[in-house]
Amino acid sequence: MSFSFQVEATSGAARAGRFVTPHGVVETPVFMPVGTVASVKGVPQHILEELGVQILLNNTYHLYLRPGVETVRALGGVQDFMNWQHPILTDSGGFQVFSLSELRKLTEEGVQFRSHLDGSLHMFSPESALAAEIGLGADIIMAFDECTETPATHARTRESMELTLRWAQRSKQYFENHKQEVPWFERETREHGSEQTQALFGIVQGGMYADLRRESAERTVEIDFPGYAIGGLSVGESRETTWEMVEATTPLLPPDKPRYVMGVGTPEEIVRYVSMGVDMMDCVLPTRAARHGLLFTSEGKVNIKQARYVRDESPLDPKCSCPVCRRYTKAYLRHLYASGELLAQVLNSIHNIAHYMQLMRGLREKIKRGERLDVG
């Protein structure tokens, strides 16, 4: 088996479990830091390991443009490329095509777009996006979907959802025919003694309409994937709407498959999604906020640029055991940020990732003890 998932404990709707991939085991619920171009901005891989990061997300769109799929394939796939010998997930590229690129043209076939780097013209279809994801070789890959714009009418959202469902079928078809082309197929198959491929997850769409979310969930599950993502959220809608959409979807996803809400969230939101039965999440927030001096602590958010910290000799978070909180004062972190030092971005990113990892460890432990999660 290339991929398997077991739920080991539940508390209300929340679940603790683990999934196995060709590059290792992941305990859930899990938060996946984003390493857009095969690098978590500012944090070396050995520090990510020390912080307990289990799985990273890479962006297919970015790696497809630079250094290119064939280069990553020649270098053994994303795990060897960045020497992260642990699981990696790639998104399908759909979200970035719709949010970053220019002059796109959407057809039944796929989406034509211009690179945000050099304006060159490209086409992502379910087939070409999957070919890219197979060439990059992440352990978990995503079906190619249309991320519906917001706001959108019910009719327009249904149309988009139907397209995503047809693309999901085509994604699966392409994957089944080409899954042995993953760069590490032979090596991992030899090592594991059974055929090792990637796991292709489906993506539920349906915009901000609960009925469409439910229909998308049911029909995506009919196609049958080893895991399901809820996509097209956190795109500008209110948090209450996001929660409502997740709440409408999760009960219709099979309990024995992992559930992944894409692109979320704050620590508080993470707790809420986990309490709804979500197993996987990813977000640029911890690293992006860190680079802007916004730090997450057990006592709430800290805006490290504030003058009140100029002579504050206390650690950023006295309850945090990360290398930043063990070594530096708020005064020093404030100084680094105010001085525009590179080290500010590095240390702040290390701390925020550590905070998320500690949060997830705490949630897993609570669920295993059968405790209710405090969703505030």
Interface ranges with a second copy (CB under 8 A): 37-46, 66-67, 71, 74-75, 81-83, 310-311, 313, 323, 327-329, 331-332, 335-336, 338-339, 341-343, 345-347, 350
DSSP 311-348: T--S-S-TT--SHHHHH--HHHHHHHHHTT-HHHHHHH
> Nearer Cβ to a second copy, position 49 or 191?
49
Beta strands in 223-372 (DSSP E): 228-230, 259-261, 280-283, 294-297, 300-303
Sign of CA dihedral 263, 243, 225, 256: positive
d(CA 344, CA 305): 11
Nearer to a second copy, 334 or 366 (CB): 334
Q: Which residue has the tokens 């001085």?
A: 339
* Least Å from the CB of residue 263 to a second copy: 21
The residue behind tokens 């802007």 is: 292
**Structure-token match 């009140």, residue found:** 308
Active site annotation includes 91: yes
The answer to whether 162 touches 146, Cβ cutoff 8 Å, is no
Tokens 């959802």 belong to residue: 161
Considering beta carbons, is residue 72 or 208 the nearer one to a second copy?
72
Least distance between a second copy and beta carbon 131 (Å): 19
Is 282 an active-site residue?
Answer: yes
Catalytic residue among 91, 145, 279, 317: 91
Question: Least distance to a second copy from the beta carbon of 59, Å?
Answer: 11
Query: How far is it, in rounded angstroms, from Cα 15 to Cα 11?
Result: 6
Nearer to a second copy, 53 or 82 (CB): 82
Nearest distance from C-beta of residue 346 to a second copy, angstroms: 6
Least Å distance, CB 331 to a second copy, is 6
The catalytic position among 145, 279, 282, 317 is 282
Q: How far is the CB of 146 from a second copy (least distance, A)?
A: 27
- Nearest by Cα to 85 from 22, 134, 136, 8: 22
**Closer residue to a second copy (CB): 247 or 312:** 312
- Pick between residue 36 and residue 173 the one whose CB is nearest to a second copy: 36
Provide the β-strand partners of residue 140: 89, 199
Nearer to a second copy, 264 or 304 (CB): 304
Its sign, for the CA torsion 168, 172, 174, 180, is positive
Tell me the DSSP string of 201-257.
Answer: EEEE--TT-HHHHHHHHHHHHHH--SSEEE-S-SSSS-HHHHHHHHHHHGGGS-TTS
Q: Is 92 helix (H, G, I), strand (E, B) or coil?
A: coil
d(CA 267, CA 302): 13
* Least distance between a second copy and beta carbon 67 (Å): 5
3-class secondary-structure state, position 274: helix
Catalytic machinery residues: 91, 282
